[in-house]
């Protein structure tokens, strides 16, 4: 009885694998050169990868989960992957420059994904970009729902206008970053009051801010600056995106695992600047904190203490550090103002010296990382070439030394050195120019020499 049950369980497991394996595999389609002609009817989320790429291999299980989740949720987005090395021409047409590259293809448009490579973030990106650039909010209940769901959202309020046309154009361009909605005035809650219509409003940080064309410049630039919360946690991916806003990034570097009183004070001060001095600094600064200094140290190729404050200019790789510890709000405001007026010293940059330093730093970091991860492999990779070069240098040096020794030995066998040879030539010349008498005297002198002197001659 037990044996039959075990057999039935085994057969059931095998049958399940045979039945469901094709479905799982088909959730992510392998794309080829025919994809270009057939993609226009669907929305595609595509991973362009290289078989030898380590990051691509790390993304593979996550990509399978993305395909399964989007299929399970009934999303219209189809998930695929393409070997960009096998179909390099098509990858170039889609603007693939590195691996892995994630793109959402919707009609003639192609949107790049630049966020963290996690399942939830990729799915959120796909659902956002696959939908309409501007979503309509038909009721106050829906408006309150999206306010709770999104930390940052943009809203157009009003009827048809040139501003709405511009808003739709900007939304089509920047939908990869944030959400765009539209609504009529009666949808808004009593806490939202607008001085004029139509208007574009951003809701974030528990409040809202209205776009002013005369003060804020173009709508696209304003949306790009406002698409982040005023203060937020910052990592490598976030810092890369913050650089595209054109703002300076002010970061409190702290140790979140072991927070000290100074760390807590710095975070509180920078949050206070972001909240209470928005009108003064929001156009130029993005504020946040970063856990640990490893990433910053690798970025600026220097050592920054924890806790501390640093301001990064991602456009030219410059950074600013306070001359002394910032103990209060007034000192922090003075530091930010000194950066804006140019009185604070700037470090780093993108000059030729810094580029050379960057190459050397990256090479050193790569070598050290290899040694830490696999010492034996590192010794083989770097020790073998150095050993070969050392043997070659030794062979060249010893070959030159042997040639010189052979020349000296030959001269000794001939009975004289270079100096003695020159002296002998001078004496011979004097004998030729001298008269017969001198020749006889020289002959007598030679006869009087002892055998040892003759041997030397």
What's the pLDDT tens digit per position in 251-289? 999 998 888 888 899 999 999 999 999 999 999 999 999
What values do phi and psi take at 10, rounded to 5?
-65, -45
Which residue is catalytic, options 17, 56, 393, 397?
A: 56
Domain-located, residue 297: yes
Residues 165 and 290 in one domain: no
Residues 210 and 165 in one domain: yes
Asked if the model's pLDDT at residue 351 lies above 50, the reply is yes
Domain-located, residue 368: yes
Residues 78 and 154 in one domain: no
Query: Do the bridges between strand 308-313 and strand 347-348 make them parallel or antiparallel, or are there none, so unpaired?
Result: unpaired
Residues 216 and 262 in one domain: no
Over range 157-174, report the average pLDDT: 94
How do residues 386-423 score in pLDDT, each as one tens digit? 777 877 787 787 765 445 555 555 555 555 445 555 55
Number of separate domains in the chain: 3
Domain boundary among 227, 242, 258: 227
Residues 139 and 249 in one domain: no
Residues 184 and 57 in one domain: no
Cα gap 28→250, rounded to integer Å: 41
Confidence bin at 368 (pLDDT 50/70/90): low
Residues 301 and 341 in one domain: yes
Domain-located, residue 433: no
Element housing 363 (H / E): helix 352-373
Lowest mean pLDDT among 60-69, 300-309, 444-453: 444-453
Domain boundary among 345, 373, 401: 373
- Facing residues of 111 across strands? 104
Residues 151 and 193 in one domain: yes
Domain-located, residue 258: yes
**Global pTM value:** 0.70
Q: Could you confirm whether 56 is annotated as catalytic?
A: yes
Over range 123-142, report the average pLDDT: 93
Domain-located, residue 380: no
Asked if the model's pLDDT at residue 144 lies above 70, the reply is yes
- Cβ atoms of residues 189 and 179 within 8 Å: no
How do residues 74-120 score in pLDDT, each as one tens digit? 888 999 999 989 988 888 888 888 889 999 998 888 899 988 889 99
Residue 111: CB partners within 8 Å, gap ≥ 6? 103, 104, 105, 129, 175, 176
Selection from 23-37, 100-114, 148-162, 418-432 with the highest mean pLDDT: 148-162
Domain-located, residue 394: no
pLDDT for the residue numbered 240: 84
Residues 152 and 272 in one domain: no
Domain-located, residue 384: no
Residues 217 and 242 in one domain: no
pLDDT for the residue numbered 79: 93
Domain-located, residue 68: yes
CATH of the domain at 209: 3.40.30.10
Residues 114 and 56 in one domain: yes
Residues 350 and 325 in one domain: yes
Which residue is catalytic, options 53, 379, 393, 397?
A: 53
pLDDT for the residue numbered 108: 83
pLDDT for the residue numbered 7: 41
Percent of the chain with pLDDT over 90: 46
Domain boundary among 227, 257, 285: 227
Q: Could you confirm whether 397 is annotated as catalytic?
A: no
Which domain does 72 fall in, by range?
23-118
């Amino acid at each position: 009885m037990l044996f039959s049950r075990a057999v039935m369980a085994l057969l059931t497991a095998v049958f399940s694998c045979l039945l469901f394996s094709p479905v799982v595999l088909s959730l992510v389609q392998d794309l080829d050169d025919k994809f270009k002609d057939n993609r226009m009817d669907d929305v595609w989320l595509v991973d362009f990868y290289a078989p030898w790429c380590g990051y691509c291999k790390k993304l593979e299980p996550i990509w399978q989960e993305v395909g399964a989740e989007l299929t399970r949720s009934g999303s219209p987005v189809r998930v695929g992957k393409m070997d960009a090395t096998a179909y390099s021409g098509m990858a170039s047409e889609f603007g693939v420059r590195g691996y892995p590259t994630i793109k959402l293809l919707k009609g003639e448009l192609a949107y790049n994904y630049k966020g963290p490579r996690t399942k939830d973030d990729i799915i959120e990106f796909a659902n956002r970009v696959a939908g309409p650039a501007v979503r309509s909010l038909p009721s106050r209940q829906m408006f309150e729902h999206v306010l709770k769901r999104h930390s940052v959202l943009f809203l157009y309020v009003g009827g048809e206008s040139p501003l709405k046309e511009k808003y739709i154009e900007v939304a089509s361009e920047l939908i990869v970053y944030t959400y765009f909605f539209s609504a009529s005035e009666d949808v808004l809650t009593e806490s939202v009051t607008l001085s004029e219509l139509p208007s574009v409003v951003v809701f974030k940080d528990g409040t809202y801010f209205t776009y002013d064309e005369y003060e804020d410049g173009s709508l696209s630039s304003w949306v790009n600056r406002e698409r982040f919360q005023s203060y937020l946690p910052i990592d490598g991916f976030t810092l890369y995106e913050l650089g595209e806003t054109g703002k300076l990034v002010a970061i409190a570097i702290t140790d979140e695992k072991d927070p000290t009183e100074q760390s807590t004070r710095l975070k509180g001060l920078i949050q206070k600047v972001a909240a209470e001095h928005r009108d003064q600094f929001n156009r130029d600064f993005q504020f946040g904190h970063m856990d640990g200094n490893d990433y910053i140290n690798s970025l600026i190729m220097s050592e920054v203490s924890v806790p501390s404050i640093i301001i990064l200019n991602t456009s030219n790789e410059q950074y600013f550090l306070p001359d002394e510890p910032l103990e209060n709000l007034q000192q922090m405001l003075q530091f930010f103002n000194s950066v804006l007026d140019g009185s604070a010293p700037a470090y780093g940059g993108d000059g030729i010296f810094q580029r050379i330093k960057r190459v050397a730093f990256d090479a050193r970091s790569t070598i050290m990382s290899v040694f830490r991860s696999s010492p034996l492999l590192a010794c083989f990779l770097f020790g073998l070439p150095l050993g070969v070069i050392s043997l070659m240098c030794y062979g060249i040096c010893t070959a030159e030394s042997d040639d010189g020794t052979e020349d000296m030995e030959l001269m000794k066998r001939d009975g004289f050195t270079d100096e003695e040879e020159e002296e002998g030539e001078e004496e011979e010349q004097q004998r030729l120019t001298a008269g017969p008498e001198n020749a006889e005297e020289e002959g007598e002198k030679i006869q009087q020499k002892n055998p040892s002197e003759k041997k030397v001659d």
